């Protein structure tokens, strides 16, 4: 009898919650349409089986460029296609500039730092970050020299394999990470440094964890945080990373010379010291920790993944690799590649852009949130509405690209084979939340890519006949582990 009572109470609670949820959602009669929802789980069942961005792509074919989806009890609005995403993030930038509150990221940063910060804190940290990155070379020749130096270390590492098969992931990640590390600290780190290796391990383990179903379930039902699972490993890694970062900036604080700032951390500490008498100052240690973590994550993962995809595409399409190398020989010769060379190398520039487009590293961008009630494209979106800009739908928009579903550098070349920009190239997102390191990433990609192809011919290992373009499981779309051969070019 007791068991029956528990079952009846559970069923009753289930339907009461479903009724309340439906009533709350129906209060807004002009909300974007979406698929039918199930009690308590909404559309979660579809996402768990097919994956989130693939599910949203399919739904956009039925519901159009602005539609809704429900994850558990929370409604979200999805923007699909170039026109809708641009309209929101660019034309209505102020209304869509806030970062959505996602449980795992809120627990990680608590609204501090940059990537997942909110309101005035985000605005101040963003302004400081952009100006400080410029001060330390972003977009300038001095930073190109750092990238060129790192290229030489990476090339030496690749040469050490003597044309034998190797997995490039660790080496490329180390080289790319060293650029942002040198900006933060004022010096690079050795690839075999155990602290550096552990830092990269923590970053990439968490990126992998964020793509797992348990994290999705935790974000939908935060109460699951009480249970064991990968979400708890994620938090443990964050705590270790926080301790690592705190040790770094405490060391910098002890050695700080106001008149000789070595890098980004020193600049923050100087500003912190200037505002120490202001109780409401945003320049405190929590923001510094969040900023460093944001910059290391963003400055390592997406760029290194893009570079690895570039090399895979050159192996997949050897005729394109040959054409890139012909252009390198013609324009650069044996000199050190510089970012300005891209202006004379339309095909190479197109290959890099096309790789970023087709590899679709961050398919859903980072989620946004409306800052106030807004009528958008005929729909009423209340303040605090969770917004998903579906970047994969922009990068594959048939109205914007000649051949959106295949790898084709001609998507960025005009009829005279000159490089052609495209506003729908939103690999770095768009609007006020666009990636602050976009200029740095573009510079790194071009110089690393051309430097490697200047020195090596990349191909599959003996006995391997197919290039596997399956992305690894993770928050971003990186290549799965693979081996390749780098054959020194005869020049």
DSSP characters over 357-397: HHH-SSTT-S-EE-SS-EEETTEEE-TT-EEEEEHHHHHT-
Helix, strand, coil share of the chain (percent; to 5): 55, 10, 35
C-alpha closest to that of 281 among 68, 124, 77: 124
Please provide residue 369's backbone torsions phi and psi, each rounded to the nearest 5 degrees.
Answer: -150, 140
66: helix, strand or coil: strand
pLDDT of residue 52: 87
Q: Check if the beta carbon of residue 476 is closer than 8 Å to that of residue 324.
A: no
Query: Is there a contact between 102 and 222 (Cβ–Cβ < 8 Å)?
Result: no
Residue 173 backbone zone (phi > 0: left; psi -120 to 50: alpha; other: beta): alpha
d(CA 207, CA 233): 12
Determine what percent of the chain is predicted with pLDDT higher than 90. 77
Q: How confident is the model at residue 11 (pLDDT cuts 50, 70, 90)?
A: very low
Report the 10 Å Cβ neighbour count for 434: 15
Whether pLDDT at 290 is above 70:
yes
- Nearest-angstrom CA–CA distance, 107 and 236: 12
Measured CA distances, 244 to 118, 195, 200, 268 (Å):
25, 9, 12, 17
How far is residue 475's CA from residue 100's CA, in Å, rounded to a whole number?
16
Q: Which residue has the tokens 């005035």?
A: 120
Measured distance CA(425)–CA(416) in Å, rounded: 20
According to the model, what pLDDT value does residue 46 have? 87
pLDDT digits (tens, 9 = 90+) for 181-222: 999 988 899 999 999 999 999 999 999 999 888 999 999 999
Q: Distance of alpha carbon 241 from its chain centroid, rounded? A: 19
Work out the burial of residue 242: count CB atoms within 10 Å of its CB; fewer than 13 is exposed, 13-18 middle, 19 or more buried.
middle
Higher pLDDT, 18 or 294: 294
Provide CB contacts within 8 A for 160, sequence distance 6+: none
Residue-level pLDDT at 491: 62
Among residues 342, 293, 290, 314, the alpha carbon closest in space to that of 485 is found at 314
pLDDT at 206: 92
CATH superfamily for domain 81-488: Cytochrome P450 (1.10.630.10)
Per-residue pLDDT of 151-173, as tens digits, reads 999 999 999 999 999 999 999 99
Quick one: pLDDT at residue 10? 40
pLDDT higher than 90, residue 236: yes
Cα–Cα–Cα angle for 277, 278, 282, rounded to 5 degrees: 125
| pLDDT, average across residues 406-418 | 96
| pLDDT for 24 | 47
CA angle (86 as vertex; 85, 92 as ends), nearest 5: 100
| Distance from C-alpha of 33 to C-alpha of 154, rounded to nearest angstrom | 50
Q: How confident is the model at residue 255 (pLDDT cuts 50, 70, 90)?
A: confident
- Residue-range domain boundaries for the chain: 81-488
Tokens of 285: 């240690």
CB atoms under 10 Å from CB of 48, counted, come to 15
């Amino acid at each position: 009898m007791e068991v029956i009572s528990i079952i009846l109470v559970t069923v009753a609670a289930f339907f009461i919650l479903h009724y309340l949820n439906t009533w709350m959602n129906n209060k807004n009669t002009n909300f974007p349409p979406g698929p039918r929802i199930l009690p308590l789980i909404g559309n979660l069942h579809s996402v768990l089986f097919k994956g989130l961005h693939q599910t949203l792509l399919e739904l956009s074919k039925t519901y159009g460029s602005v539609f809704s989806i429900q994850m558990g009890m929370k409604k979200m609005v999805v923007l699909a296609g170039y026109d809708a995403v641009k309209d929101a993030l660019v034309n209505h930038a102020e209304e869509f500039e806030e970062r959505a509150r996602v449980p795992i990221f809120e627990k990680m940063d608590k609204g501090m730092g940059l990537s997942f910060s909110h309101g005035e804190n985000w605005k101040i940290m963003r302004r400081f970050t952009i100006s400080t990155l410029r001060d330390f070379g972003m977009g300038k020749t001095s930073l190109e020299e750092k990238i060129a130096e790192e290229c030489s270390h990476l090339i030496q590492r690749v040469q050490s394999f003597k044309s034998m098969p190797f997995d490039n992931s660790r080496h490329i990640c180390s080289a790319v990470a060293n650029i942002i590390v040198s900006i933060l600290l004022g010096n690079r780190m050795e690839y075999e440094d155990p602290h550096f290796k552990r830092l990269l391990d923590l970053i990439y383990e968490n990126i992998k964890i964020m793509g797992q179903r348990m994290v999705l379930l935790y974000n939908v039902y935060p109460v699951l945080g009480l249970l064991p699972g990968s979400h708890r490993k994620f938090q443990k890694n964050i705590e270790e990373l926080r301790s690592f970062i705190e040790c770094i900036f405490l060391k910098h604080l002890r050695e700080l010379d106001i008149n000789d700032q070595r890098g980004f951390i020193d600049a923050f500490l100087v500003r912190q010291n200037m505002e120490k008498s202001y109780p409401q100052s945003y320049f405190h240690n929590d923001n510094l920790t969040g900023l460093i973590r944001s910059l290391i994550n963003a400055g390592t993962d997406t760029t290194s993944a893009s570079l690895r995809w570039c090399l895979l595409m050159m192996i997949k399409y050897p005729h394109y690799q040959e054409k890139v190398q012909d252009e390198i020989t013609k324009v650069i010769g044996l000199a050190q590649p510089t970012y300005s060379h891209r202006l004379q190398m339309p095909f190479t520039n197109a290959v890099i852009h096309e790789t970023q487009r087709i590899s679709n590293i961050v398919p859903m961008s980072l989620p946004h949130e409306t800052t106030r009630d807004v009528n958008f494209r005929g729909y009423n979106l209340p303040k605090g509405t969770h917004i998903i800009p579906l970047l994969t739908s922009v990068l594959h928009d048939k109205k914007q690209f000649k051949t959106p579903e295949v790898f084709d550098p001609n998507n960025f070349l005009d009829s005279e084979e000159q490089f052609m920009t495209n506003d729908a190239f939103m690999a770095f997102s768009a609007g006020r939340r666009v990636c602050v390191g976009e200029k740095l990433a573009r510079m790194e990609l071009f110089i690393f890519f051309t430097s490697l192809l200047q020195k090596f011919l990349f191909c599959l290992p003996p006995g391997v006949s197919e290039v596997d373009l399956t992305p690894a499981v993770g928050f971003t779309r990186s290549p799965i582990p693979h081996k390749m051969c780098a054959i020194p070019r005869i020049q």
